Chains A and B, each alone.
Chain A
Amino acid sequence: MSPNLPELLIGLAVSLLRPAPPEAGGDYAAGRVGLMASLLVLASQEAERGAAARIWENAAITELLGDTTSTPAHTTWSELDARNADLRRALIALHIAAEDRGDPELQGRILALYEAMAHARRLELPG
């Protein structure tokens, strides 16, 4: 998943500071501000549950992989995302292997995990 919350907040700050040319005012500027407001609302949802979603997803994939290796605790967004990228790559490989050997039980567990992962990372537009 990209971008992450810290990047988004930096991006919003950059967008607010960027001078607009004269032809980009009026309705266009108003629409841009409205979009940034929506992004801030979504960012509040991510701030509330984004870290928990990553911690849960990393644990769920680790369990599915049967990985018993102990890993250091990850406490920042970038650490969580880096660990998540490793785990997702391993999950993709596991899914391909399950498809290739015709293992419907494992495929079913992986597909259920995908649904749960997408739900945990959901963002909801206001209104």
Chain B
Amino acid sequence: MSLAAALAAYLTRVRETPTAVENLARISGGASRETYRFDAVSGAERLGLILRRDPRGSLIDTDRRVEFLAIASFEGKEVAAPRALWLEEEGAELERPFFIMSRVDGGAAAGPFAPDPYGPHARAIGERFFSIMGAIAREPLVGLPLAGAALAPSPGDCWKWELDHWTAVIDADETHPQPIVRAAIRRLRRDPPPPPARVSVVHGDLRSGNFLHDGAGRILAVLDWEMAHLGDPLEDLAWAMDPLWSRPGDPRVSGMVTPDEALDIWRAASGLEIGSKALDWWRLFASVKGQAIWTSAAKAWADGGMTEPILAFSGWFTARAQDQILSRRLAELGPL
């Protein structure tokens, strides 16, 4: 059965009304899940939807329930999350786990390595982007769908949970010794950051390329919640500020605003202070996390029969770029 037919059968069952699937097309939308856009048509009703289905090999293993609930946590709020509709962890008619969410039309995601991705609207996009990030950080956890599914570390354990997790990913997926990222991990363990004032939702991959914008300075939807978790909100801030997301020679964060402007916007939106020691720690950590993801990409590419170019790109070009960032930062920090 084709994917379109399987999807139609599933929607007909769960919606309890005959539903046809039209205009089904795969789109680029994160390397951890196969992403498709389509229309669900029942009589005169036409719904624009997005399908996110587990692939046979992926960039990083993530929990689709957590991603689904993270999206549901911010539906209808300032954060501009799509509407989470159906989750099938056993795969149902589609044979592999998936979920379906509403589609946001009229926008595009910039390529993460595109030169000057937002042109004359860079400042407006930057103000909105870091405001949204601050809104995620200040969202109360009580009653939030994500908080019912994700484990919450104590403030003092946020750093350790994340560093342990991503170190384990490197341990499991590394196929060639990586002295640079190993040195960074040791440095992070020797000098942990101060605990955050509060544990927050962390999007986990909030950066240039993971949101839709309308080309006129408005952010329409925040995407790719697959690494969402609870933790130190500085993790998101540091990840977006990693030099990987800025073209060489461009002093702006992700081609948007300067680092100082980004911090000011986030501070105002979140109501939280930013300690320099904590931010420095999370910024070095961001590069370690990045290298862990690229290490997994290389393994997923090989394990998946070398058929997904995005995994080769991440596991090769991006990993090399991340090593340059990490080695430069370690040299700046100097000996232990």
Contacts and interface: CB of A to CB of B under 8 A. Distances in A.
A and B interact physically: yes
A53 to B, nearest CB: 10
B308 A123 contact: no
A56 to B, nearest CB: 15
Contact of A8 (B177, B305, B312): B312
Given A3-B298, A39-B312, A88-B176, A25 B306 contact: no
A122 B325 CA distance: 11
Contacts of A2: 175-176, 295, 298-299, 302, 315-316
B279 interface: no
A91 interface: yes
A125 B331 contact: no
A10 B323 CA distance: 24
A122 B302 contact: no
B26 interface: yes
A85 interface: yes
Contacts of A114: 179-180, 183, 327, 330-331
Contacts of A123: 316-317, 320-321
A42 B4 CA distance: 36
B113 A91 contact: no
A60 interface: no
B176 A35 contact: no
B115 to A, nearest CB: 7
A27 B327 contact: no
Given A3-B298, A107-B336, A112-B331, A14 B316 contact: no
Nearest to B182: A92
B315 A3 contact: yes
B115 A127 contact: yes
Contact of A27 (B4, B27, B302, B317): B27
Interface of B: 2-4, 24-28, 36, 113, 115, 175-180, 182-183, 186, 295, 298-299, 301-302, 305-310, 312-313, 315-317, 319-321, 323-324, 326-328, 330-331, 334-336
Q: Which 5 A-B pairs have the closest CB atoms?
A: A11-B306, A107-B335, A88-B177, A104-B335, A114-B327
